[in-house]
Amino acid sequence: MTTVQIATAILGLLAGIGIFLVACSMLSRNLETAGSSKLRHLFDGASKNKLLGVGIGTLTAAAIQSSGATTVIVIGFLNAGIMSLVQAATVIFGANIGTTVTGQIVAWGMSGGDGISTTVIFSGLAGIGAFVSTFGKSDRAKTVGGILTGFGMLFVGLELMGSSMESFADYEPVRAFLASINNPILLVVIGAVLTAIIESSSVMTSVAIAMIMAGLITFAQGVYITMGSNIGACIVSLLASMAGSLNARRAPVINLTFNIGGAIVFLALDFLLNIFAGVGIGTPFEILFPGAPQIQLAMFHTAYNIGKVIIALPLTEAIVAFAERVVPDGATGEHAGQTGKQHTYYISDALFATPPIAVQQTKFEIINMADIAMRNAKIALEMARTLDFSRREEFDENEEELNYLNRELARYMARLFGEQLSEYDREYLSHALHSISDLERVGDYATNIVEYAEKLSLEEHTFSEEAQNEIAMLEEFIEKLYVQVMHAYVMKDEESYANAKAAEAAIDLVTEQMAQNHVGRVASGVCSPEVGSHYIGLISDAERIGDHFYNLTKARRGLQP
């Protein structure tokens, strides 16, 4: 080979890898968008049992074409404290199986007879998909076009890689160098390092398949490189967890332990098979799929990861315990957003790897914010009724957290708008921005009520017993409204909307009656005008609290999932 030919082959290889990476990313984003609701339901069931966790991890990684992204989702859930380490471990195990789907697609796509190459046929989908994306009117059409384009570009990249590999295969020094690398452990390390650089085991496996097809490496070498690729892929979760919570930083330890432990077990098995039977762990696949080395490697990769899960699943608790020893309680570096008084409970920047899940967690965070707002509304009315300020510190902490959540959610949703989302998710976020503003206003009106109570206390006045009873009744009505609003917010059914509307109308009637009763008490001298002004302010602010809670229901109504 001339210098020009070598440079051309290298550039062609880099171009092929680049296109393949872009294709994986495009395919992943569009599959997430198309199956966002199903993806959410999958993770909703992650806590049922170990096998279900493995299944969820497998399906999710297969759907979004990335075990790394699936692990990042898990890290986000761990940051939010809504998934245990055992649950997370089983999902991570399954993700390692799901990520082998890309290799299967590539391997079977490269198969064919003497007719038109299936690689060329599938590559043509890139053009069809681009046409659909460009001229499609609906979001669904654009998403389908993106899926077709990403799928087709996988094979465009593969074709470029394959052509470059064939050029290198004709260059004897390269062939001799690669043939000299036959140490299994060294090949595993090479696979791990190269995968860590490109951050994708799917791409590394596909490169290995192209090398085998070009005759650059043997099937046995491909087996060891593929085993190493699973270890190298852990770099994605390691990077995602660096600023995470304690459990989030244990997740990549679990992933590394699973993959390094699996590699050790299967390398030992390979060593024993070679000594006592003269065969390797890849021999059964050579027998089952003769003359198709690309399918042999893809099938080995899938079987290898299934085998690791079978071994690891009974040892889940032991693997988790090991991760807890490696990252013990009290380890430094805890994420600022997960410690102290102010923190988010459900959202995490790690979830941006899968925007549909991030949107789902935004809804949970808003529900949590609503719960804090309701607690403060109750505390405020209780203070006004009893002039007992023993919970004032709790009230102030809640108010600070409401303001913090308002800022964080606004920032989070603004960033989410820049991600690829379904039309429904984008519309939901638009309404959600108004919802967090409503909840922040609930906190402000609760603060006003507390200030009325403090003024009463300073003036050495109290509300009359009748007024106190009315405030207690108003508190019950607001709580009933809150229950109906939250039910409507989650369920989105017409009955819930009707119940919430009726509860809000009842508060309007109650506050109107309270104002009329108060006028009578002032006229009869039961209440002084000074106390009366505070009472009227309280009634007005309480009625506005009801309005802002009810606005959450109006924001959800009309959104079609």
Which pLDDT value is given to residue 18?
A: 81
Indicate whether 68 and 131 sit together in one domain: yes
pLDDT at residue 187 above 80?
yes
85 and 133 both lie in a single domain: yes
Confidence of residue 45 (pLDDT cuts 50, 70, 90): low
Per-residue pLDDT, averaged over 495-519, amounts to 90
User: Which one-letter amino acid corresponds to residue 82?
Assistant: I
Rounded distance, CA 265 to CA 281, Å? 11
Quote the tokens at residue 471: 């405030």
Mean pLDDT over residues 521-543, rounded? 86
Distances (CA, A) of 69 to 61, 348, 414, 431: 8, 14, 21, 27
pLDDT above 50 for 335: no
pLDDT at 559 over 60: no
Contacts 24+ apart (CB under 8 A), 267-273: 267/184, 267/185, 267/188, 267/227, 270/184, 271/184
Record the tokens describing residue 59, joined without a space: 């399906």
Specify whether the CB–CB gap between 97 and 305 falls below 8 A: yes
Q: Name, in order, each residue with C-beta under 8 angstroms of 132's C-beta and a sequence gap of 6 or more.
A: 141, 142, 144, 145, 148
Mean pLDDT, rounded, for 19-25? 72
d(CA 309, CA 93): 6
CA–CA separation, 153 vs 110, rounded Å?
14
| Residue ending a domain, choose from 310, 326, 342 | 326
Residue with tokens 């949703």: 413
Higher-pLDDT residue of 398 and 157 is 398
Task: Please identify which residue in the block is written with the tokens 């917010």.
Answer: 489
Mean pLDDT of 205-218: 84
Same domain, 104 and 228: yes
Pair (230, 98) in one structural domain = yes
- Written as six digits, the tokens of 258 are 């699973």
Residue with tokens 């465009």: 156
CA within 13 Å, CB half, 305: 30
> In this structure, are 355 and 321 located in the same domain?
no
> What span, in angstroms and rounded, lies between the C-alpha atoms of 561 and 559?
6
Give percent of the chain with pLDDT exceeding 90.
38
Q: Specify whether 437 is located in the same domain as 506.
A: yes
**pLDDT, mean of residues 40-47:** 57
Stronger pLDDT, 453 or 291, i.e. the higher one: 453
Average pLDDT taken over every residue of the chain: 83
Please check whether residue 421 lies inside any domain of the structure: yes
Q: Is residue 446 part of a domain?
A: yes
Is the sign of the CA dihedral 168, 171, 173, 175 positive or negative?
A: positive
Question: Where is the domain boundary, 293, 326, 359?
Answer: 326
What type of residue is 120?
A: V
Give 125's pLDDT tier (boundaries 50, 70, 90).
Answer: confident
What CA–CA distance (Å, rounded) separates 440 from 551? 12
Q: Examine the domain organization and report whether 320 and 359 are in the same domain.
A: no
The tally of domains found in the chain comes to 2
* pLDDT tens string 403-458: 999 999 999 999 998 887 778 888 889 999 999 999 999 999 999 999 999 999 99
Residue recorded with tokens 């988790």: 320
Which tokens hold the place of 188? Answer: 């595993």
Do both 316 and 425 map to the same domain?
Answer: no
Strand residues in 232-366 grouped as ranges (E): none
Judge whether 520 lies within some domain: yes
- Average the pLDDT over each of 203-217, 308-322, 379-393 and give the range with the smallest value: 203-217
Looking at the structure, tell me whether residues 306 and 228 fall in a common domain.
Answer: yes
Q: What are the structure tokens assigned to 284, written together?
A: 């059964």
3-state secondary structure at position 470: helix
Of 291, 326, 361, the one marking the end of a domain is: 326
For residues 37-66, average pLDDT: 71
Q: How confident is the model at residue 482 (pLDDT cuts 50, 70, 90)?
A: very high
If asked whether residues 427 and 487 sit together in one domain, one would say: yes
Residue type, 350: A
Q: What gap in Å lies between CA 465 and CA 471, rounded to an integer?
A: 10
- pLDDT given at position 561: 43
- The two structure tokens encoding residue 378: 């109750």
Give the pLDDT score at 287: 93
The token duo for 501 is 């509307």
Tell me: pLDDT of 115 over 50: no
pTM of the full structure: 0.67
Three-class DSSP labels, 294-363? HHHHHHHHHHHHHHHHHHHHHHHHHHHHHHHHHCCCCCCCCCHHHCCCCCCCCCCHHHHHCHHHHHHHHH
Residue 330 pLDDT > 80, yes or no?
no
Between CA 298 and CA 102 the distance in angstroms is 9
CATH number at residue 452: 1.20.58.220
pLDDT tens profile 242-276: 656 778 788 889 999 999 999 999 999 999 999 99
pLDDT for 242 equals: 66
Integer-rounded Cα Rg, in Å, for the chain is: 30
- pLDDT exceeds cutoff 90 at 194: no
207 assigned to some structural domain: yes
Residue at 8 is within a domain:
yes
CB atoms within 10 A of CB 516: 9
Q: What is the pLDDT of residues 458-481, one digit of tens each?
A: 988 888 889 999 999 999 999 999
- pLDDT at position 114 is 47
Residue 106: both structure tokens together: 């590539």
pLDDT at 483: 92
337 occurs within a structural domain: no
Count of helix runs (H) and strand runs (E) in the chain: 23, 0
Distance CA(100)–CA(201), nearest Å, equals 8
d(CA 103, CA 366): 40
Could you tell me the residue range of the domain that residue 537 belongs to?
350-556
DSSP-derived secondary structure letter, 35: T
Cβ burial of 558 (10 Å; 0-12, 13-18, 19+) is: exposed
Question: What is the three-class DSSP state of 83?
Answer: coil
Placement of tokens 């570096």 in the chain:
333
Give the pLDDT confidence score for residue 407 in this predicted structure.
94
Distances (CA, A) of 516 to 385, 467, 521, 522, 525: 19, 12, 9, 10, 15
Q: Which amino acid belongs to residue 494?
A: E
Residues 373 and 489 in one domain: yes
Q: Is the pLDDT of residue 353 over 80?
A: no
First vs last C-alpha separation in the chain: 58
CA 349, 353, 355, 358 torsion-angle sign: negative
> What is the pLDDT, as a whole number, of residue 359?
86
What's the CA gap between 301 and 197, in Å, rounded? 20
Strand (E) positions, 243-362? none
Is residue 228 situated within a structural domain? yes
Residue 342 included in any domain: no
Q: Would you say residue 339 has pLDDT above 60?
A: no
User: The tokens of 128 are what?
Assistant: 């069809």
For 515, counting Cβ atoms within 10 Å of its Cβ (0-12 exposed, 13-18 middle, 19+ buried), the class is middle
Number of Cα atoms under 13 Å in the Cβ half of residue 446: 32
- Report the half-sphere exposure of 508 (CA within 13 A, side-chain side): 9
Identify the DSSP state of 247.
H
- How much is the pLDDT for 228? 92
Lowest mean pLDDT among 34-38, 223-227, 483-487: 34-38
Least confident of 137-141, 219-223, 322-326: 137-141
Residues 321 and 355 in one domain: no
The predicted structure's pLDDT at residue 38? 58
For residue 271, give every residue at least 6 positions away whose Cβ sits within 8 Å of its Cβ, in sequence order, or none. Answer: 184
